Amino acid sequence: MKRDFLTIWDFSPQEIQRILERSIEFKNSKGPGACPLIGKSFGLIFEKASTRTRVSFEAAIYQLGAHSVYMNTSEIQLGRGETVADTARVLSSYLDGIIIRTYGHERIQDFASNASVPVINALTDRHHPCQVLADMMTILEKKGRLEGVNVAYIGDGNNVANSLIEGASRMGMNLYLACPEGCEPDAAVLEAARQTARSEIMVLREPREAAGRADVVYTDVWVSMGQEKKAEDKMKKFSNYQINESLMACARKDAIVMHCLPAHRGQEITSAVMDGPGSVIFEQAANRLYTEKALLEMLASA
Ligand code: CP
Ligand code: NVA
């Protein structure tokens, strides 16, 4: 039966561990390597902008021996009103997997339930699971483990925060989120994650409280794609939530700094921290390639 990857929740801790180990193997391997997906084709449907996700998937697909077809919604009939269900049925007859970036999470669920090939979530308003696979790979590389690592997420309770919550629950990381009032993560995601978590997952108000014992300090933009109308209001709420040298002084001395990118330098993070000695942000971005390869291999060679 086909497997989808719509949220971190779709994989068990053992499956996530296997993907992370395989990603590290891909990273360490020299030369072109085997092409386990030779002869296969993958579609990428993007309804929002992307640099890292689109390009890392396209490169990963090529490196695994397969072919990618990029579709901007405005150039396919989906953008002219063809239904999600009909599009999913038709594309499933040509392709071996479909990677989608869209707005409402229900839209990708609808697509996946009508597709007969694996569907991968390349970001929705509610989740960004592919990002969090690369984040966990980076933490594993830098800290040598996930279990018991203290992660402070300072900022908006958005798609990245929701997927981090699920990742923390699955892999035993402690997660302290500092979010302004009204910008907390999704309550249902939080509740489900807490029910099975063997670690602490807490939503706090004060950035310094979250950063206090942090091994990892993570942030994301204050205004996500599609939320531009709320920008002015959000800027006011987030003025105390910047990751800067003063906040980093609260974290452990060997704390690493993470950001999924793109960043707004001078807003959620200063350039001094982003380019400073604790930053692993660009390695985190580079790791997207290896986790996309491991994910595609697992879902598409089944
Ligand atoms: N982090 C991330 O998903 O970046 P893109 O929006 O550039 O794909
Ligand atoms: N939260 C951001 C992540 C971008 C990769 C957004 O949805 O725009």
pLDDT in tens, 69-123: 999 999 999 999 999 999 999 999 999 999 999 999 999 999 999 999 999 999 9
Note the pLDDT tens digit of each residue in 44-76. Answer: 999 999 999 999 999 999 999 999 999 999 999
The residue whose CB lies within 8 Å of the most ligand 2 atoms, and thus the one to mutate among 124, 130, 225, is: 225
Residues with CB under 6 A from ligand 1: 50-53, 123, 131, 260-262
Q: Where are the domains of the chain?
A: 8-127+288-300, 131-284
What percent of the chain stands above pLDDT 90? 95
Give the model's pLDDT for residue 60: 97
Q: What is the mean pLDDT of residues 235-252?
A: 96
Note the pLDDT tens digit of each residue in 5-25. Answer: 999 999 999 999 999 999 999
Pick from 109-123, 159-173, 227-241: least confident: 227-241
Q: Which ligand 1 atom minimizes the distance to the CA of 53?
A: 8
Query: pTM for this structure?
Result: 0.98
CATH architecture entry for 8-127+288-300: 3-Layer(aba) Sandwich (3.40)
Residue type, 144: G
- Identify which ligand lies nearest to the alpha carbon of 223: 2
pLDDT of 31 over the 90 cut: no
CA of residue 224 to ligand 2 center, whole Å:
5
Could you check whether 8-127+288-300 and 131-284 share the same CATH topology? yes
Note the pLDDT tens digit of each residue in 271-296. Answer: 999 999 999 999 999 999 999 999 99
Catalytic residue among 63, 259, 260, 284: 260
Class of domain 131-284: alpha beta
Catalytic residue among 22, 52, 101, 105: 101
Q: Give me the long-range contacts of 66-70 (CB less than 8 A, separation at least 24).
A: 66/35, 66/37, 66/38, 66/39, 66/40, 66/41, 66/42, 66/96, 66/296, 66/300, 67/40, 67/41, 67/42, 68/41, 68/42, 68/43, 68/44, 69/41, 69/42, 69/43, 69/44, 69/95, 70/44, 70/46
Minimum CA distance residue for ligand 1 atom 6: 50
Catalytic residue among 22, 130, 220, 284: 220
- Tell me how many helices (H) and strands (E) the chain has: 12, 9
Catalytic residue among 131, 170, 215, 242: 131
Q: What is the mean pLDDT of the chain?
A: 97
pLDDT confidence tier of residue 4, bands split at 50, 70 and 90: very high
- Identify which ligand lies nearest to the alpha carbon of 56: 1
CA of residue 39 to ligand 2 center, whole Å:
32
Residue 131 bears catalytic tag: yes
